[in-house]
A and B are shown apart, each in its own frame.
Chain A
Amino acid sequence: MKRLSMVQQLNSKTILLSSVLQIGDSREITTRSNILAVQRQYELFFGNEGEGTFPVFTKPIPKLDVSVPLHIHRLNESPVLSVRSIYLIAASTASVVHIGSTSTINGETRIKHIRQLADSSSTSSIPQATIHITKDG
């Protein structure tokens, strides 16, 4: 038997990018998120980027193998989990915020960061950006 979760107050601002805010019991939660973050020295976006695959998005992630059969005995002396208040700013990138009990949670995130800087000698030939943003607006 699973315990009862009691939260009097929850204040959360943002839930984004394949995240889950679950209030109440659930059986199975699966979250996935693939992120390609490109930072450039100049405001440039070519439109067709990231359609090819990077190994970080395709490589299989090994799963922990539990070889020994496990028998868990739970003795719930108190049937309640009580929390007065939760203040949460953000849940992001395949994360889970769960008030209540569940059976299985499965989450996977793959992130690739690339920073692209112009060669100091080639700064005179900056490609034309479709949108140009300056500090002064």
Chain B
Amino acid sequence: MATMNILILVCLGYVVLLFGVAFAADRMAAAGRGRWLRSPLIYTLSLSIYCTAWTFYGAVGSAARSGLEFVTIYLGPTLVMISWWWGLRKLVRVGRSQRVTSIADLISSRYGKSNTLAICVTILAVLGGTPYIALQLQSITLSFSIFAEADPSGLYREGASVFWVAAGLAVFAILFGTRNLDANERHHGVVTAIALESVVKLFALLAVGIFVVWGIAGGVTPMMERIDASEIGRWNVDAGRWMTITFLSAAAFVCLPRMFQVMVVENDDEAHLRTAAWAFPLYLLLMSLFVVPIAVVGLDLLPAGSNPDLFVLTVPLSQGNDWLAMLSFIGGFSSATSMVIVTAMALSTMVSNHVVMPIWLNTRERRSSISGDVRNVVLMARRISIAAIMALGFFYYRLSGGGAALASIGLVAFAGISQILPALVGGLFWRGATRTGALVGLSVGFGLWVYTLLLPGMGGGIMSASVIENGPFGMGWLRPQALFGLEGLDPMTHTVLWSLSLNALAFCVASLLSFPSPLERLQGAQFVNVFDHSVAPGGWTGSVAQSEDLMIMTQRILGAAPAQEFFQAEAERQGVRGRLPEPTPGFLERLERELSGSVGAATAHAMIGQIVGGSSVSVEDLLAVADESAQLLEYSSQLEAKSAELTRTARKLREANEKLTQISMQKDAFLGQVSHELRTPMTSIRAFSEIMRDTDGLSADETRRYATIIHDEALRLTRLLDDLLDLSVLENGQVNLNMGEASLRTVLDRAVSTALAGAERRLKVRRSLPSERVALHTDLDRLGQVFINLISNAQKYCDAAEPTLTISAHDVGGQLVIDFVDNGSGVPADAQSMVFEKFARVGFDKAGGAGLGLAICREIMQRLGGEIVYLPGQGGAAFRVSLPLAHRQAAQ
């Protein structure tokens, strides 16, 4: 039986078929035909590179060892897919609108096009991806060796076969992965080939499964009985591992570079997600449907000690079904090759865009002359990267020597790559996330992953057993597999728990503490609110002179023809004659996106920045940021309103306080004045009464004179006290108004006669009687008191030779106004404001008034609803008494 030779022939034939399919698909896509190449079905099938050889062979092995635990690897992605509307849709939209080329590009683009971050993610991805590639090589080699054992010729050499497999895969990836540069054109050839391989591996696994269930076990029911009777026939799953691996596979499904490549970069249409949301879980379900039966039958049929990872191959072989085994081999081969090719492509894109290109651009900057074609550099960098990554995988495989150490590396790689998750999810959903936060989080997570999982897992060579047992330098709480004393956990659960939680925590804390750059803020707004405004950020401004430089640069990257086409189209769009468009912000933005498809966002941004210089911010960008600012503004305006209110209240309080202080001072002054006013007459009364008591032999005349003085002073005191009492009653508002009706003329007649009765000097009073025919309804006695006060003041203080008082009444603006103007020198300007204050007296005390008269007048007028003011500039002392006319109307 020349199985080995046939196998090699079939393999080669299969590879040629793949080449043919990829080539044809590329041709069809280039010719614009083959709409089915962009169908959701192809998209869904290409997603199935998630199922690698590790899952193809290893799932059965895992089921044979620990029962149903293997389904967690499929359940995680299922959960991610069915929640596509909330997560993946956004990721794909962002990826398309920003033209990202890899997950490193996405992260760097989100955090202000930071290349440092991109390099970190790239390193993480390469570290996680290389062992994974080694694992695929191992599975191919192992499956080869199964056939080699059955082959009598014994020509098979393991080392050589691994080398040729690695080399062949590298060639395939280079040929189809780096044919075109623009990510927008997508790798139709590779994707179609992968879709074909997905069908093959599903078909192979289903064929083996059907053979096992119906061919060997004899139907579903006997199979179920056989399962329950087997050594794994009871539910026995570690809860921690169950949840950890589900979570981990969900995280890795999003973060793995190869998954990102097919899911986001190669995505043609967002609507494909809708189909993939149910079709891909269905694919996973079919992939895992027969895993347990195959494992159970394998355990039953094959001798103890045979490798359960290869049951998919060995079960058909042991039954003599060579063709089925061959089919299953091709299935495993498909899983391995598709995964390796896409991983190599994705990693090489990351390496060339984020490591090689920045270095190359830097060296070019130093040399003044620009030489070499960027396009070729990029392609060459990618080809070399693919070869280097494959070589790394190959050497890793040779160094680790294959075997069981590799089998666990799949999950280890998952845990490593999942460290990107906090930065990714935070970047998509939280605008506060910053570059510093992402860097710190990634570093913490990466460090913990290396320390707690990668190094202990690599055996005694790198980390000594004593460190694992007792911690570094005997510090028990730093034991790699029991960090901070958390013992008894499965190492995987332990690592995922610590690394991801501390990663997320560091990410949040550092994000909150650091301040994002303007570009970061713009990008944050673009990413988080991608459904509101899908425009590229960071607008440029440039001058026409730069268009030519841009053209030269674009030609170097995209190639001459596509670049000229692009510029021509732009020029036509702008309506410009000739081939060079104006470097408008819109054009530069499109150009940057076009270039970022080839060299990554960070590099494209830097290259255009070199030529154009400064970047400007467009109104849309500002609006995007303003969304955030608007909330802040609203909040701060609320704060401002509150603060203004507080200021107002404080001012009112201060005013009230000042008034209180003033009133208190007034009260003190008033008391002082009252005491003074009372004391003056008291002093003369006392003095004269003492004279009369102590002096003997006073004449009758003298006695009368002194008694008169005492009497006068007593009168003055009484008047003063009357006034004070009156004022206090008025001020307290306790006065009862005695409302009555009379004409103004009557009130004035009475006031004039009272005031002038017994006066020593003659005061001539001039009145205009017609205007006084106004009926009043008010407290007539009080009003009369005011008039008497004013008239007697004029009589006392008017210093004219022939004192004359003119009284006139008018109707001004609905108010009855009565003016009392004399022909004296009036009240000095500086005293005018004081005349209505208590005890205010103008000049020296001529007539011994207490200075309360006008104060009382003011109070009375306030009670009557009117006012009394001093009228300056009337030639003499002039007072105006106003009364509301409503009183008059009420009287009529």
Query: A and B bound?
Result: no
Interfacial residues, chain A to chain B (CB-CB below 8 A): none
